[in-house]
Amino acid sequence: MAEDKIALQQLPNDEHGERFQIIFIDGEQLAVKPGYFRETRGPMTEAEVRAFFERGHQPSSDVEAMFRLAREAFAKG
């Protein structure tokens, strides 16, 4: 069985500055529908993302890694 994953995607900046969305990748769905993902929250500020993951007790090192990866992917276009 494929693993579920949670990821962060950077969106274009708006009047609030950097914006992100949290996405959930359902491992079972991905196995049958390549490219499948589900957005779990709409555009969020960095502070909102951090608060979301803090409530879920996500380790801060994981959150930092998600921000780094999201920013790198966004910069590459």
pTM for the predicted model, two decimal places:
0.78
Residue 14 pLDDT greater than 70, yes or no: yes
Determine the pLDDT at residue 25: 76
Q: Determine contact, residues 9/68, Cβ cutoff 8 Å.
A: no
Q: Which helix (H) or strand (E) holds 24?
A: strand 17-25
**Count of all residues that appear for the chain in the document:** 77
Could you write out the DSSP letters of every residue in 26-75?
-HHHHHHSTT--EE-S-SB-HHHHHHHHHHTT--HHHHHHHHHHHHHHHH
Specify whether the CB–CB gap between 69 and 49 falls below 8 A: no
Q: What is the pLDDT of residues 29-49, one digit of tens each?
A: 666 776 666 667 789 999 999
